[in-house]
């Protein structure tokens, strides 16, 4: 939440820009254009006398103001905007604003104000915006808004309001925005919102809600935005959102939801943004999004999802963002994201995915950002991003990548298109590539360990000899010969000298070979120990064949 203090520097900067010549102005205030008056400083204990009579905007910021009594602004007959920011001792007495019909906006933020008399506002018939925020209000008196019938925006966030009189909002027939967030408010009276037929934005974040009264939102036929995040909702009653056909944004993040009814969102035919992040959902019903064809953004990170139902997104052709990070997804159903042509962002990071089908991202023609970090992927199918022409941000780190031939195409793709995001994406195996970053891997290192192929009996000895010729290697001492078979590249033959050794000390051999053949380059490590008189034992022979099809 934005603290009023954070606004202060912006405000001062703005006023300084507005005009630098101060007119006759009661010190220590500063006046701009004769209409904007800015008073700040701990030495201000009361409303200064001699404020310009034609002031339209009045700011009191970080002063020692205490009581603002009746008639305090008596000479300012065209006051339109009155702002009190961070005046800790401020109290508003009855009639502080008189019958000021010109006042359109009143803001009191960051004060110690704990109570407001129902007469505090007098009769502010033209007041449209009222901010009473981040103060210490404990309650609202019934009738507080009886003489402010033009209010369009009422901001009460960040107070200590625990209860609301059930009819307190009844006079506010013009209200478009109501923010009650960050108050220890629950429970909310059942009919509290009934009079607010024009309301478009309702913010009820962090008000200790544990349940939604049945039908509480039903009268809000104009509602476009509903925030219920950071409460303790464990369940949404059937029909909780029925009637909200204009709703575009629904925030349910950081509650305690364990499951959702299949038709809970079915009336939300205009829903664009749905946030379910940070709940305890272990599954989503297959038909959950069937009634929300205009959904553009779905946030469902930090739940307990193990998979998603087949076809859950199938009618959502306008989806642009899907966030499923920090769940426990072990697999995705076939065609999970089929035909989501408009999808630009898909976050699947920090799940338990071990494999992905080669067509997982097919037809995601707009995809730009894909998060796969923090899964259990060892490899991805070749060509998995072939239809994603706009993809540039693929995050792959924290997966147990096996850097062999199966990763060759992915590594090439990453190097070309998404290297910066993957400077911390490391190989987990094989051992000698552990810790290499994928974009930095030399392509020729991505080879598969030779699988022992069948003896090649189809070649005559002569042919075999020729075939072998391009890559036969002898060490200078002539003790060991390595030969690779160009017709079957995966085969590597090691010829050891005849058994036994004249010195009787046994054969020890340790050497690095670089083999260059028509198959490509390959580096081979051979370590051999042979006991005198015993059988030769090959302790370690690592080889990496450049041919991707063993």
Ligand X SMILES: *[C@@H]1O[C@H](CO)[C@@H](O)[C@H](O)[C@H]1NC(C)=O
What are the residues binding ligand X (CB under 6 A)?
Answer: 1, 34-35, 49-52, 54, 74-75, 88-89, 112, 114, 182-184, 206, 230, 306, 318, 328, 330, 341-342, 352, 409, 412-413, 416, 516
Cα Rg for the chain, rounded, in angstroms? Answer: 36
Residues in the chain: 550
φ, ψ dihedrals at 250, nearest 5°: -130, 120
**What's the closest the beta carbon of residue 509 comes to ligand X, in angstroms?**
23
**What's the closest the beta carbon of residue 177 comes to ligand X, in angstroms?**
19
Distance CA 547, CA 550 (A): 7
Nearer to ligand X by C-beta: 482 or 507?
482
Nearer to ligand X by C-beta: 178 or 528?
178
**What's the closest the beta carbon of residue 88 comes to ligand X, in angstroms?**
4
The owner of tokens 């097919």 is: 362
**SS3 category, 111:** coil
Nearer to ligand X by C-beta: 291 or 374?
374
Nearer to ligand X by C-beta: 349 or 507?
349
Query: Alpha carbon 277 to chain centroid distance?
Result: 9
Distance CA 9, CA 85 (A): 12
DSSP 44: -
Nearest to 400 by CA among 440, 361, 371, 373: 373
**What's the closest the beta carbon of residue 504 comes to ligand X, in angstroms?**
38
**What's the closest the beta carbon of residue 35 comes to ligand X, in angstroms?**
5
**What's the closest the beta carbon of residue 149 comes to ligand X, in angstroms?**
28
Nearer to ligand X by C-beta: 173 or 376?
376
b/e string for 456-482 if b means 16 or more Cβ within 10 A? Answer: eeeeeeeebeebbeebbbeeeeeebeb
Pair of tokens at residue 19: 């005009």
**What's the closest the beta carbon of residue 291 comes to ligand X, in angstroms?**
19
SS3 sequence, 120-146? CCCCCCCCCEEEEECCCCCECCCCCCC
Q: For residue 27, give every residue at least 6 positions away whose Cβ sits within 8 Å of its Cβ, in sequence order, or none.
A: 48
- How do beta strands 81-85 and 249-251 pair? unpaired
**What's the closest the beta carbon of residue 56 comes to ligand X, in angstroms?**
8
Nearer to ligand X by C-beta: 77 or 429?
77
Nearer to ligand X by C-beta: 124 or 185?
185
Q: For residue 271, give every residue at least 6 positions away whose Cβ sits within 8 Å of its Cβ, in sequence order, or none.
A: 247, 248, 249, 250, 265, 292, 294, 295
Please, which residues bridge with residue 30 across strands?
38
Nearer to ligand X by C-beta: 215 or 412?
412
């Amino acid at each position: 939440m934005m603290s009023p203090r954070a606004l202060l520097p912006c405000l001062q900067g703005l006023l300084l820009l507005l005009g630098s010549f101060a007119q006759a102005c009661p010190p220590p205030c500063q006046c701009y254009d004769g209409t904007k008056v800015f008073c700040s400083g701990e030495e201000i204990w009361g409303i200064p006398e001699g404020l310009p009579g034609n002031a339209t905007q009045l700011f009191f910021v970080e002063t020692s103001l205490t009581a603002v009594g009746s008639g305090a602004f008596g000479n300012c007959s065209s006051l339109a905007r009155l702002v009190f920011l961070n005046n800790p001792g401020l109290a508003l007495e009855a009639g502080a604003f008189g019958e000021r019909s010109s006042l359109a906006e009143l803001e009191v933020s960051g004060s110690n104000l704990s109570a407001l008399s129902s007469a505090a506002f007098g009769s502010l018939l033209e007041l449209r915006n009222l901010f009473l925020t981040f103060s210490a209000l404990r309650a609202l008196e019934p009738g507080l808004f009886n003489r402010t019938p033009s209010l369009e925006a009422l901001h009460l966030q960040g107070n200590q309001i625990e209860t609301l009189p059930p009819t307190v909002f009844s006079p506010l027939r013009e209200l478009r925005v109501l923010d009650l967030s960050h108050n220890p408010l629950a429970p909310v009276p059942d009919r509290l919102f009934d009079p607010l037929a024009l309301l478009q934005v309702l913010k009820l974040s962090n008000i200790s809600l544990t349940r939604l009264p049945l039908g509480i939102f039903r009268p809000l036929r104009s509602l476009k935005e509903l925030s219920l995040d950071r409460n303790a909702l464990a369940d949404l009653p059937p029909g909780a959102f029925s009637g909200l056909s204009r709703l575009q944004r629904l925030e349910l993040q950081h509650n305690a939801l364990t499951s959702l009814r299949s038709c809970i969102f079915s009336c939300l035919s205009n829903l664009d943004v749905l946030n379910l992040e940070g709940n305890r959902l272990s599954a989503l019903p297959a038909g959950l999004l069937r009634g929300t064809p205009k959904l553009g953004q779905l946030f469902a990170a930090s739940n307990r999802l193990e998979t998603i139902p087949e076809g859950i997104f199938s009618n959502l052709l306008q989806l642009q963002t899907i966030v499923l990070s920090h769940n426990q997804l072990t697999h995705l159903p076939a065609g999970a994201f089929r035909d989501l042509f408009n999808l630009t962002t898909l976050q699947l990071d920090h799940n338990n995915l071990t494999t992905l089908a080669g067509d997982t991202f097919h037809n995601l023609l707009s995809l730009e950002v894909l998060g796969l970090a923090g899964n259990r992927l060892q490899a991805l199918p070749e060509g998995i991003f072939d239809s994603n022409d706009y993809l540039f941000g693929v995050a792959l780190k924290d997966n147990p990548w096996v850097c062999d031939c199966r990763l060759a195409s992915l590594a090439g793709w990453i190097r070309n298109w998404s290297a910066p995001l993957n400077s911390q994406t490391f190989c987990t195996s094989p051992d000698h590539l552990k810790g290499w970053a994928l974009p930095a891997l030399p392509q020729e290192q991505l080879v598969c360990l030779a699988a022992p192929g069948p003896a090649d009996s189809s070649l005559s000895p002569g042919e075999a000899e020729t075939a072998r010729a391009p890559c036969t290697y002898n060490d200078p001492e002539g003790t060991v010969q390595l030969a690779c078979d160009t017709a079957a590249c995966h085969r590597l033959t090691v010829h050891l000298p005849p058994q036994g050794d004249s010195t009787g000390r046994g054969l020890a051999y340790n050497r690095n070979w670089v083999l260059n053949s028509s198959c490509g380059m390959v580096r081979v490590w051979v370590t051999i120990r042979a006991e005198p008189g015993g059988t030769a034992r090959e302790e370690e022979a690592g080889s990496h064949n450049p041919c991707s099809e063993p």
